[in-house]
């Protein structure tokens, strides 16, 4: 069983602060994967609040990530 599945099932908070998925949110047992799986509609503003940055900054990061993915996809064709 994966770590995030275990914490979601048992409702115990994760203590692995060094984990790349760790998030200071008891609502999600301290795991961003659990939080995303719970939300039907996760907005850029929601993400910004989690990381204490603006919605606009998240939008900038999203656009840059999409560009990188497009470049990777085009290079593999």
> Encoding tokens for residue 59?
């939008």
Q: pLDDT tens digit string along 4-62?
A: 777 778 877 878 888 777 777 777 777 777 777 777 787 889 888 878 899 999 999 99
d(CA 68, CA 10) in angstroms, rounded, equals 37
pTM over 0.75: no
CA 72 to chain CA centroid, Å, is 22
Q: What angle separates helix 55-76 from helix 44-51, to the nearest 10 degrees?
A: 110
């Amino acid at each position: 069983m994966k770590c995030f599945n275990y914490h979601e099932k048992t409702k115990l908070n994760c203590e692995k602060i060094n984990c790349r998925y760790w998030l200071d949110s008891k609502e999600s047992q301290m795991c961003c994967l659990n939080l995303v799986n719970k939300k039907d509609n996760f907005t850029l503003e929601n993400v910004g609040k989690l990381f204490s940055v603006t919605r606009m900054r998240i939008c900038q990061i999203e656009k840059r990530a999409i560009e990188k993915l497009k470049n990777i996809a085009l290079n593999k064709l």
